[in-house]
Amino acid sequence: MELDDTDKKILRELQGNLPVVRQPFLEVAERVGISEKEFFERVERLTKDGIIRKFGLRIDSKKVGFKSTLMAMKVAPDMLDETANKLSGYEFVTHNYARDHEYNLWFTVIERDADALKDAIERIKREVEFDDLLDLPVLQKFKINVRFDIK
């Protein structure tokens, strides 16, 4: 699908924070230079076409007490898809990527507190077949945001 200039403007605007006003979508539509109705039609199409995958809040999990870790798993190549699908089925797994690396499956685990995180990791160890597993907890967060420069 080809994006026109208006679609690109909408995508640039929606990557930032929505204004905290009574009608945030109207304000964004006006900044883009279209009606609110056209804005919603375009957002619906961009979502249906898979360009917008998700629309929602980003909560600072650490500030609300959640704990997380990055995991690296060594999986037999013929088991990679099955293992990735199993991990993706856990609600506590938030990101899950195959990598061209000895540890070929990398994923994040997040839970409400340290005990729940430990339990989630133990559950993975019991229920998932793998050769080795690394737990790589965050020591310091430097960046957790992305904005695409859509031109």
In a domain, 147, yes or no: no
> Do residues 44 and 55 make contact, with C-beta atoms less than 8 angstroms apart?
no
Asked which of 2-6, 30-34, 120-124, 145-149 is least confident by mean pLDDT, the reply is 145-149
In a domain, 59, yes or no: no
In a domain, 132, yes or no: yes
* Same-domain pairing of 41 and 80: no
* Same-domain pairing of 78 and 117: yes
Quick check: 60 pLDDT over 90?
Answer: no
Quick check: 53 pLDDT over 70?
Answer: yes
Asked which of 6-20, 27-41, 51-65, 112-126 is least confident by mean pLDDT, the reply is 51-65
Average pLDDT rounded to a whole number, residues 9-15: 91
Model confidence, pTM? 0.71
* Same-domain pairing of 87 and 129: yes
In a domain, 53, yes or no: no
Domain region containing 111: 67-137
Q: Dihedral of the CA atoms 30, 26, 7, 143 (nearest 10)?
A: 100
* Same-domain pairing of 32 and 71: no
> Do residues 72 and 134 make contact, with C-beta atoms less than 8 angstroms apart?
yes
Number of domains the chain contains: 2
pLDDT digits (tens, 9 = 90+) for 77-89: 999 999 999 999 9
Tell me the pLDDT of the chain averaged across its residues: 92
Which domain CATH number covers 132? 3.30.70.3460
Give me the sign of the Cα torsion angle 43, 49, 51, 53. Answer: positive
Query: Using the 8-state DSSP alphabet, how is residue 102 labeled?
Result: S
Task: Identify the bridge partners of residue 135 per DSSP, sorted by sequence position.
Answer: 71
By three-state DSSP, how is residue 132 classified? strand
* Same-domain pairing of 34 and 72: no
Q: Please report the pLDDT score of residue 88 as a whole number.
A: 97
> Do residues 146 and 12 make contact, with C-beta atoms less than 8 angstroms apart?
no
In a domain, 143, yes or no: no
Quick check: 1 pLDDT over 80?
Answer: no
